[in-house]
Chain A
Amino acid sequence: MLVGTTIYALINTAILALMAIGFNLTFGISGVANFAYGAFYVFAAYGIWGMLNLLHIPYLLAVLIAVLANLILGALIYRFVLLRVRGQALSEVIATFGIGLAILELFSYFGWVGFEYTLPVFMDRSFIIAGTYVDFQRLAILGFSAVLIACLWWFTHHTSIGLAFRGIAQDERTALTFGIDSDRIAMLSVSFGAGIAALAALFIIPLGSIAPGEGYDVLIKALAVCIIGGLGSTGGVIAASFIVGFAERFTDTYIGSHWTMIVSLAAILLVLTIKPSGLFGKQKELEERI
Chain B
Amino acid sequence: MTDAPILSVSELSKNFGGVRALNQVSFDLQPGELLGVIGPNGSGKTTLVNLITRFVKPTSGEVFFKGKKISHLPPYKIVRLGIARTFQMVKPFYQLPAYKNMIIPLYSPRMRQLAGGHYGDRDAMALDLLEEVGFERDAHVAYKTAGALPQGYLKRLELAKALALQPDLFILDELFSGLSLAEVASIVPIIEKIRMAGKTIIMIEHRLKELFRIADRVIVMNYGEKIADGPAEAVMEDEAVKSAYLGTEAG
Contacts and interface: CB of A to CB of B under 8 A. Distances in A.
Name B's interface SS: loop
A289 interface: yes
Interface in B1-35: 16
B19 to A, nearest CB: 12
A290 B91 CA distance: 12
A288 B17 CA distance: 13
Interface in B22-59: 50, 55-57
A236 to B, nearest CB: 16
A82 B55 CA distance: 32
A288 B57 CA distance: 7
A43 B50 CA distance: 48
Contacts of B55: 288, 290
B14 to A, nearest CB: 10
Nearest to A282: B17
Contacts of A285: 16
A289 to B, nearest CB: 7
A285 B55 CA distance: 11
Nearest to B14: A288
Nearest to B56: A288
Contacts of A290: 50, 55-56
Contacts of B50: 290
A289 B55 CA distance: 7
B134 to A, nearest CB: 28
Nearest to B54: A288
A262 B16 CA distance: 37
A285 B17 CA distance: 9
Contacts of B57: 288
Nearest to B55: A290
Interface in A128-154: none
A289 B47 CA distance: 9
Contacts of A288: 55-57
A285 B56 CA distance: 9
A288 B55 CA distance: 6
Contacts of A289: 16, 56
Interface in A270-290: 285, 288-290
A289 B50 CA distance: 9
Interface string B67-92: 00000000000000000000000000
A135 to B, nearest CB: 44
A230 to B, nearest CB: 15
Nearest to B47: A289
A58 B219 CA distance: 74
Nearest to A288: B56
A254 B56 CA distance: 45
Contacts of B56: 288-290
B224 to A, nearest CB: 15
A279 B57 CA distance: 19
Contacts of B16: 285, 289
A205 B50 CA distance: 50
A148 B56 CA distance: 37
A285 B57 CA distance: 10
Nearest to B87: A290
A3 to B, nearest CB: 41
Interface in A154-169: none
9 contacts: A285-B16, A288-B55, A288-B56, A288-B57, A289-B16, A289-B56, A290-B50, A290-B55, A290-B56
Given A289-B16, A290-B56, 7 more contacts: A285-B16, A288-B55, A288-B56, A288-B57, A289-B56, A290-B50, A290-B55
Nearest 4 interchain pairs by C-beta: A288-B56, A290-B55, A288-B57, A289-B56
